[in-house]
Amino acid sequence: MVKSVDIGILFIHGIVGNNRIFNFLTPYIPEGCDVSWLTLCGHGGDALAFSRASMERWKAQVSEAVGQMRDRCRKVIVVAHSMGCLFAIAEALKGMTDALLLLNPPMKIRLTKRMFTNAAKVAVGRTHHDPIAQSALAAYGIALDRNPLHYYGWPARYLELFAEIRNVRRLLSCVTLRCATRVFLSAKDEMVSVRSASYFSNQPDCRLSVLNDASHYYFTASAQAEIGREFSTMLSAAQEPLPD
């Protein structure tokens, strides 16, 4: 089959997130790329819509999007944040991607005070003068809902997330990623431990960096520039012709 486009780029956000987290990467995307910003089911709406979603729907949605891009494009690059990294890794392990750019993949979770204060500041609208809380607010993909009954499905969604983390960790321990992979972890991440790095140590075509001043949603200008340079390098490599 003749591919209609050289490079396809699929962006996948994290749980209760949105694709604004990737805005700083758009200047690096060359013209002519097939770009898709995937919004996972239950995101972009209210708490009730999220309650009615499921991990299985998210995984099926990602698989369908990657498969369609694979049909159209010669090379497929997936850029993902947080939970979206789990789906990206799963597709790479199936041989469906040519490169991965992973931001804060949650292979090992940690709970910090900052995680809860971010949520509290967002809930009461007190994110002023706090760039980390402001970034969390910008990254949230669920509208604040005052009806507590609409949150009935949230515990199940997070239990599914923890189960998927265990599943992907198991896969990474015994299966090699079939594509070039670039991983960035944030030293000040309030949810993901930098010890997540250990789960990529046996992957031969994977490079990992720790961003000293970044958190889960907040990337300083220098962190954005570093990620952007790697993204640009990845795109340049994808533009190279395939060997005869």
Q: Domains of the chain by range and CATH? A: 5-239 (3.40.50.1820)
Whether residue 207 contacts residue 182, with contact meaning beta carbons closer than 8 Å, is answered with yes
CA-to-CA distance for 39 and 51, rounded, in angstroms? 15
Side-chain half-sphere CA neighbours of 42 within 13 A: 22
Q: For all residues of the chain together, what is the average pLDDT?
A: 92
What is the distance between the terminal CA atoms of the chain, rounded to a whole angstrom? Answer: 16
Q: pLDDT tens digit string along 177-216?
A: 989 999 999 999 999 999 999 999 999 999 999 999 999 9
Whether the predicted model's global pTM rises above the 0.85 cut: yes
